[in-house]
Amino acid sequence: MTWTRRKFGRLAGASVAALAARPARSGSRARVVIIGGGIAGATVAKYLATSSARPDVALVEPKQQYTTCFFSNLYLAGIRSLDSLTHSYQALAKRYGINVIHDTATTIDPVAKSVALAAGGKLTYDRAVVAPGIAFKYGTIEGYDEAATQIIPHAWNAGAQTELLRHQLESMEDGGVFVIVAPPNPFRCPPGPYERASLVAYYFKQFKPRSKILILDAKDTFFEQDLFEDGWNRHYPGMIEWLPAQFTGGIKSVDTKTRSIKTGGDTFSASVANIIPAQVAGELAQRTGLADQTGWCPIDPLTFESKLHSAIHVIGDATNAGDMPKSAFVANSQAKACAFAIASALTGSEEMMPHLFNTCFTFLAPNDAVSDAINMKPSGGSIKITDIFFSQVGESDEVRRQAARQADGWYNAFTQDVFG
């Protein structure tokens, strides 16, 4: 048997893990700086802090609390409070010793390996993890810029935007038209715009039954379309209309004063509108050269290290990770793979093939949920789907009720995994 450096590293790593007095001497601890405290950033912080590498972990996030985008459509429907979707960073700081810094990272110097903070300080790192989420491509719809979001919300980051949309829906008269503009691929949460239509329809059905919902889509098909269309026919017949780009000629411009949306053909007037713009990787990724011409960040499929800057990893919605959809579940799955890869690199132990998985629970109505389950694995320099399963049209009410109960259990366990 030939002893390779890798095998030696693996054995040495294992012994060190067993023998090292914990915590490691602070002077020699590797430093990892994580930028962005969303699902990806919070997960990678926790799993690194509990890894055998025991690095010094700093998490840079301006907000004091995080409100999840997933399940925020339930808030729009009046079923859940925004408070119940809001999580603090206290457990990460207190239970896991993560240095949570409420500041904004302005630049990253990949040569000096340092991160500059808006308040003036600098953090040096052995490894950095960037999890900036998404930014909106304003300007792809004429008249829709950042100022316009105060009149016509995108509500695609949860918080004030979601509250604004809820207030507008509450003040809308019965018989009004709610227009959702759905974005082109790729975008955060593929079933999200259509789940939003479903749950707002649930709200209308109870309180404003003469109202209509119109979806103007930048696409010609959408995720789990058969499941949604079946659900809409069963729960809200005649209430939701979906118009693909090939029918409207695409979404061209918006007039915020009249809330009218002009397509390639007709102009549609809305009582309440929600424009979900086209998306790219979060602003920091653009500014620090981590995104390529696609607008997304290319990564190594095994370690999530940037293909553009070494020692910087990118995870979550900002990545171009092959077949992986942009979901919170995927962000969490990537974050774990990334944490284990960084821990292996820091200790010299064996890297394991990441287990990459996605499941999304989607509500057609509060007691009617569907799910998907997707296995993915690194292959040919990218990440490919190996297995995919969907709920089926025609499942029994009991199966759907059970999925809705599981969805609630999942939210509790998942947010515990990320923030608890």
Interface residues toward other proteins, by CB under 8 A = 14-15, 17-19, 47, 50, 52, 329, 332-333, 336, 340, 352, 355, 357, 359, 371-375, 386-387, 389-391, 405-406, 408-410, 412-414, 416-417, 420
Nearer to other proteins, 95 or 167 (CB): 95
Minimum distance from residue 92 beta carbon to other proteins (Å): 15
Q: CA-based angle 148:152:158, to the nearest 5? A: 100
- Cβ contacts of residue 251 below 8 Å, gap of 6+? 141, 181, 216, 218, 245, 261, 262, 263
Minimum distance from residue 272 beta carbon to other proteins (Å): 33
Nearer to other proteins, 56 or 372 (CB): 372
- What string of H, E and C letters represents the secondary structure of 237-289? CCCEEEECHHHHCCEEEEECCCCEEEECCCEEECCEEEECCCEEECHHHHHCC
What ranges make up the beta strands (E) of 4-88?
31-35, 56-60, 65-67, 86-88
Minimum distance from residue 340 beta carbon to other proteins (Å): 6
Give kind and range of the element (H or E) at residue 403: helix 397-419
Minimum distance from residue 145 beta carbon to other proteins (Å): 37
User: Which neighbouring-strand residues pair with 216?
Assistant: 181, 243
Nearer to other proteins, 295 or 378 (CB): 378
Three-state DSSP class for residue 309:
coil
Minimum distance from residue 356 beta carbon to other proteins (Å): 9
Minimum distance from residue 329 beta carbon to other proteins (Å): 6
Nearer to other proteins, 19 or 147 (CB): 19
Nearer to other proteins, 217 or 372 (CB): 372
CB 274 within 8 A of CB 144: no
Nearer to other proteins, 66 or 410 (CB): 410
Nearer to other proteins, 221 or 386 (CB): 386
Q: CA-based angle 270:219:39, to the nearest 5? A: 90
Minimum distance from residue 406 beta carbon to other proteins (Å): 6
Q: CA-based angle 316:337:91, to the nearest 5? A: 75
Nearer to other proteins, 46 or 113 (CB): 46
> Looking at beta carbons, which pairs linking 77-85 to residues 24 or more positions away fall under 8 Å?
77/199, 77/200, 77/202, 77/203, 77/366, 78/166, 78/203, 79/199, 79/366, 82/158, 82/159, 82/162, 82/163, 85/158
Minimum distance from residue 172 beta carbon to other proteins (Å): 33
Structure tokens at 131: 């999890």
Torsion of CA 118, 119, 121, 126, to 10 degrees: -40
Nearer to other proteins, 210 or 405 (CB): 405
Report d(CA 196, CA 161) in Å as an integer.
Answer: 14
